[in-house]
């Protein structure tokens, strides 16, 4: 089945509007949640990063563009007041502006959490081209743990207090336009996504919403609704909106 919806999650629109003087663009993506009478206790997924964006523009090197790809978990669908546990990939034509040690044609990755008081993030680690990155986010004793792995080795991890039970999981193709625009991002795929719930919800799969250019066979369960899985959610090639589109 192919799900689709035109709406960008409130979340992202709110985040975009919250920073008045800067312009943010969000590309293709998906979200899922909330479960009925349950919360998310664990999620795992993988990604082989696409090529870094092409045809981007930077008009002033003091105001660089950057692009971030992530799946995050939160108690809300993007409320600015809620924490978002979002291990993320980041790329900028000026790696130094982001504290990313990767060369310009590779991404960095780090465990990271958005909080209303700012971003708690770990140091960026280079993702060598064509390398699979594995992500795990889980809740234990009111803490949220993020573990980022490459080739079986943990490369970044973080734990933060859980602000509220996790009800939503959603992706972001996030572009900070800086003094230019983010150009074109090639297609890629969030793979092997598994979501564990605290209690069975046989209808959780129906909450998957794919907006603009994303597609998937959908979430399926083999234990009557406690655990949900999809092999892939494909995010199609996308040219980010430019400043003049706003
Ligand atoms: C970059 O822009 C050029 C000129 O507009 C175009 O021919 C090319 O297809 C673009 N490349 C990508 C990856 O979008
Ligand atoms: C940015 O990448 C270049 C290689 O392209 C590397 O020499 C340099 O050290 C990197 N900068 C930082 C801040 O890591
Ligand atoms: C960047 O420069 C190009 C070419 O001069 C221009 O078309 C574009 O509007 C500029 N973008 C911004 C954000 O100023
Ligand atoms: C999919 O994820 C599960 C849980 O993390 C893992 O055990 C399994 O090896 C992964 N499968 C592939 C094909 O990577």
Which residue from 192, 227, 230 has its CB within 8 A of the most atoms of ligand 4, so it is best to mutate? 192
CA 232 – ligand 1 centroid, Å: 27
Domains present along the chain, CATH in parentheses: 11-245 (2.60.120)
* 243 backbone dihedrals φ, ψ, rounded to 5°: -55, -40
Q: Chain centroid to CA 221: how far?
A: 23
Whole-number Å distance between alpha carbons of 135 and 9: 22
The strand ranges marked E within 162-225 are: 168-176, 184-185, 188-197, 209-211, 214-216
Three-class DSSP category at 119? strand
Does residue 191 line the site of ligand 4, with CB under 6 A?
A: no
Q: What pLDDT does residue 23 have?
A: 76
pLDDT at 99: 93
Q: Could you say which residues of the chain have pLDDT below 70? A: 1-22, 242-246
Please tell me the pTM assigned to this model: 0.90
Which pLDDT value is given to residue 20? Answer: 40
Give residue 51 CA to ligand 1 midpoint distance, Å: 14
Q: Output the CA 13–ligand 1 centroid distance in Å.
A: 28
76 conformational bin, left if phi > 0, alpha if psi -120 to 50, beta if neither: beta
Task: Report whether the peptide linkage leading into residue 34 is cis, meaning its omega lies within 30 degrees of zero.
Answer: yes
Q: Is the CB of 165 under 6 A from ligand 3?
A: no
φ, ψ of residue 98 in degrees (nearest 5): -110, -5
Q: How many CB atoms lie within 10 A of CB 199?
A: 12
Whether residue 184 contacts residue 53, with contact meaning beta carbons closer than 8 Å, is answered with yes
pLDDT at 17: 43
Q: Give nearest CA residue, ligand 3 atom 2.
A: 59
* Contact indicator for 136, 44 with CB cutoff of 8 Å: yes
Question: Quick one: pLDDT at residue 3?
Answer: 25
71 vs 137: CA distance, rounded Å:
10
Q: For 98-151, write each residue's pLDDT tens digit.
A: 999 999 999 999 999 999 999 999 999 999 999 999 999 999 999 999 999 999
């Amino acid at each position: 089945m192919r799900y689709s919806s035109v709406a960008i999650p409130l979340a992202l629109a709110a985040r975009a509007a919250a920073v008045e003087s800067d312009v943010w663009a969000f590309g293709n993506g998906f979200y899922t949640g909330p479960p009925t009478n349950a919360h998310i206790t664990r999620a795992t997924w993988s990604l082989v990063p696409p090529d870094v964006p092409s045809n981007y523009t930077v008009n002033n090197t003091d105001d660089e563009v950057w692009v971030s790809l992530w799946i995050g978990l939160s108690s809300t669908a993007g409320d600015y007041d809620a924490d978002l546990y979002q291990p993320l990939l980041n790329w900028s034509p000026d790696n130094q502006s982001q504290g990313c040690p990767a060369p310009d044609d590779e991404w960095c990755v780090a465990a990271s959490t958005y909080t209303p008081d700012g971003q708690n993030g770990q140091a960026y680690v280079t993702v060598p081209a064509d390398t699979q990155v594995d992500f795990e986010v889980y809740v234990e004793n009111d803490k949220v743990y993020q573990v980022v792995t490459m080739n079986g080795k943990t490369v970044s991890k973080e734990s933060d207090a859980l602000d509220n039970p996790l009800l939503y999981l959603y992706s972001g193709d996030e572009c900070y336009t800086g003094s230019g625009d983010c150009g074109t991002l090639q297609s890629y795929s969030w793979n092997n996504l598994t979501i564990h719930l605290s209690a069975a919800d046989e209808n959780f799969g129906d909450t998957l919403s794919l907006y603009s250019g994303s597609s998937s066979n959908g979430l399926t369960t083999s234990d009557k609704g406690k655990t949900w899985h999809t092999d892939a959610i494909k995010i199609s090639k996308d040219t980010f909106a430019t400043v003049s589109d706003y």
